[in-house]
Amino acid sequence: MKTIIKNGRVIDPAQNIDAILDVVISAGCIESIAAQVQPAADDQVIDATGLLITPGLVDIHVHLRDPGYEYKEDIVSGTRAAAAGGFTSVACMPNTNPSNDNKAITRYMIQKAELEGYANVFPICSITKGQQGDSLVEMGDLKLAGCVGFSDDGLNVEDGAMLRHAMEYAQGFDMPIIAHSEDESIKDGGVMNEGPLSTELGLTGNPWVSEAASVARDIMLAELTGARLHICHISSKRTVELVREAKQRGVRVTCEVTPHHFTLTEEAVRGYEVNAKVGPPLRTAADVAAMKEGLRDGTIDAIATDHAPHHIDDKNMEFVYAAFGMIGLETALPLSLRLVDEGVLSLNEVIACLSCKPANVLRIPRGTLIAGAVADIALINLEHTWEVTRQSIRSRSFNTPFEQQSMKGKAVMTLRAGRVVHKEI
């Protein structure tokens, strides 16, 4: 028995496909993409008339909080949120408890996702043991256990020599270093973007330099070592310029932007809105414009959510004390589709930034519908409007600055290896 998804608009940027076609799935893999396929009597047919058929989306920056912080999210709730957002693969950060610095935890994450999850989980292991910045993890072991990169995300690797050695080892294993680039000494306890608004609100500012200075260092270390460097959640205009220039010089650097950093400015913080408190901070309109320009000219390789669930007890307090981070898996697609309406990216480019391009950054064998690929697929209704409410969100946490906002665009069906894992049609 095969599954045939019929009459959808197939968009597969990796193959340059954009046409009304049928997708044939057999034994969990893509068998073919063709026009007017005739189903056999025992084939399962899914009618995708009026819908997009895209590769299952790939998010290379999520926090699943499992093990250790399951009251915020776990691998089951987090991957359920992923599937509802159209994502079939997520790369999860190691700032769990204990942190993912060893193969037992890496294997636990992969196995739990395989057995109970709704999406594939590709763990990112820490760079330093316990993310303490003191000694390097066993990179070779971790690669064998299935990790796809190394990051101390949430924290900067402050010690430049440590990061240099991490890059040298990572390069030996042909693995990327994934940098949370924020110089802690320049950040200096800042809780929002530094500028007139932080002064007005009486909050300590975190200037763009904390990011750009650290990115400049990281790029030069990548240049010195020849390592692959991926920079997380970029937020400032100056950072885009640094990455653009480094790419022109042939440095092996990639970067990602979150939907919140190309959608919102620091104005979202006004009123001490704790759900708009995020690291790096939301910045100015000029920075948002630079994110869009970076996406447009390809300086920015991927859209990644930095889905960072926090329990209400970690957020419901004075702004200064509230945790940094916001959820993003279920709002990423509609927020990214706004880039099409604004003329920043074409629809194909948005899908590429959410599928094959992030997959390429971490060399995850997903993000395309090419024959033989695992049948991870999203069916997207571009016209479906919905409201962000506690009821409409699957994540265990609800720390989003988009609460009660209207969203346009939704994954109405998601398939993982040919099996339906999310359905609202």
Q: Give residues in contact with ligand NCD (CB under 6 A).
A: 63, 95, 153-154, 180, 278-279, 306, 308, 324-325
Residue 95 binding result from Zn ion, ligand NCD, none, given CB thresholds of 5 to 8 Å by partner type: ligand NCD
Residue 325 binding result from Zn ion, ligand NCD, none, given CB thresholds of 5 to 8 Å by partner type: ligand NCD
Longest dimension (CA), the chain: 69
Q: 311-329 b/e with 16+ CB inside 10 Å = b?
A: beebbeeebeebbbbbbbb
- In the annotation, is 306 catalytic? yes
Residue 46 bridge partners (DSSP): 5
Least distance in angstroms from the C-beta of 7 to Zn ion = 41
Least distance in angstroms from the C-beta of 279 to ligand NCD = 4
Nearest residue (CB) to Zn ion, 240 versus 351: 240
Tell me which residue has its CB nearest to Zn ion: 180
Mode of pairing for the β-strands spanning 229-231 and 253-257: parallel
Burial of 67 (0-12, 13-18, 19+ CB in 10 A): middle
Structure tokens at 335: 């927020």
218 binds Zn ion (CB under 5 A): no
Q: Which residue has the tokens 């994450």?
A: 109
Nearest residue (CB) to ligand NCD, 322 versus 421: 322
Least distance in angstroms from the C-beta of 158 to ligand NCD = 14
Residue 149 binding result from ligand NCD, Zn ion, none, given CB thresholds of 5 to 8 Å by partner type: none
Residue 55 bridge partners (DSSP): 377
Structure tokens at 364: 């995850």
**Alpha-carbon distances, residue 265 vs 117, 289, 322 (angstroms):** 34, 10, 19
Nearest residue (CB) to Zn ion, 9 versus 260: 260
Nearest residue (CB) to ligand NCD, 282 versus 388: 282
153, 306, 314, 376: the active-site residue: 306
Least distance in angstroms from the C-beta of 423 to ligand NCD = 30
Nearest-angstrom CA–CA distance, 265 and 147? 34
Q: Which residue has the tokens 């320049």?
A: 186
Nearest residue (CB) to ligand NCD, 93 versus 344: 93
Residue 272 binding result from ligand NCD, Zn ion, none, given CB thresholds of 5 to 8 Å by partner type: none
Nearest-angstrom CA–CA distance, 337 and 173? 36
Question: Positive or negative, the Cα torsion across 123, 129, 131, 135?
Answer: negative
Nearest-angstrom CA–CA distance, 34 and 20? 9
Q: Which of 63, 80, 180, 310 binds Zn ion (CB under 5 A)?
A: 180
153 binds Zn ion (CB under 5 A): yes
* All residues at 6 or more sequence positions from 79 whose CB lies less than 8 Å from its CB, including other chains: 64, 90, 113, 117, 118, 119, 121
211 binds Zn ion (CB under 5 A): no
Residue 63 binding result from ligand NCD, Zn ion, none, given CB thresholds of 5 to 8 Å by partner type: ligand NCD
Query: Residue count at the site for Zn ion (CB under 5 A)?
Result: 3
Least distance in angstroms from the C-beta of 403 to ligand NCD = 17
Residue 66 binding result from Zn ion, ligand NCD, none, given CB thresholds of 5 to 8 Å by partner type: none
Question: Positive or negative, the Cα torsion across 123, 124, 130, 131?
Answer: negative
Nearest residue (CB) to ligand NCD, 125 versus 308: 308
Nearest-angstrom CA–CA distance, 404 and 400? 10
Least distance in angstroms from the C-beta of 233 to ligand NCD = 6
Binding site for Zn ion (CB under 5 A): 153, 180, 232
Q: Which residues are catalytic?
A: 306
